[in-house]
Amino acid sequence: MPSTPDRLLTTHVGSLPRPPELRALLKCRVVGEPVDEDAWAAAVDDATADVVRRQLDVGLDVINNGEQPRVSFNWYVADRLSGIDGTREAPLWDDLLDYPDYAEDTFTTDIIDLRTQPAVTGPVEYVGREACEEELAAFERHLEGTGVAIEDTFITAAAPGIAATSLANEYYDNHPEFLFAIADAMREEYELIAETGATLQLDAPELLASGHRGPQEKTVENLRRLIELHTEALNGAIDHIPPEQVRLHTCWGSYDGPHTRDVALEDVLGDLYELDVTGLSVEQANPHHQHEYRAFAEHPLPDGWYLMPGVVDVKTNVVEHPETVADRLERVVDAVGDPTRVVAAPDCGFDTQAGLGMVHPDIAWVKLEAMVEGARVASERVF
Parallel/antiparallel/unpaired status of strands 154-158 and 168-169: unpaired
- pLDDT band for 214, please (50, 70, 90 cuts): confident
- Domains of the chain by start residue, with CATH: 9-382 (3.20.20.210)
pLDDT at residue 140 greater than cutoff 80: yes
pLDDT for the residue 9: 97
Q: ∠113-76-185 over CA atoms, to 5°?
A: 135
How many CB atoms are closer than 10 A to CB 193?
Answer: 24
* Region 312-333 average pLDDT: 98
- Asked if 254 and 349 count as a contact pair (C-beta separation under 8 A), the reply is yes
Pairwise CA distance, residues 154 & 244, whole Å:
12
pLDDT at 195: 98
Q: Which of the residue ranges 213-227, 242-256, 322-336 would you say has the lowest mean pLDDT?
A: 213-227
DSSP bridge pairs for 309? 282
Rounded mean pLDDT of 245-274? 95
Residue 168: partners with Cβ closer than 8 Å, 6 or more residues away: 87, 88, 90, 117, 118, 119, 120
Q: Are 358 and 256 within 8 A, CB to CB?
A: yes
Residue 154, H or E segment: strand 154-158
Q: What is the pTM of this model?
A: 0.96
CA 320 centroid distance within chain:
21
pLDDT of residue 310 exceeding 90, the answer is yes
Report pLDDT for 107. Answer: 61
Backbone angles phi, psi at 168, to 5 degrees: -85, 115
Question: pLDDT digits over 20-69, tens only?
Answer: 999 999 999 988 899 999 999 999 999 999 999 999 999 999 999 999 99
Instruction: Give the pLDDT score at 103.
Output: 74
pLDDT at position 134: 96
Label residue 196 by pLDDT band (50, 70, 90). Answer: very high
Residue 100 confidence (pLDDT): 83
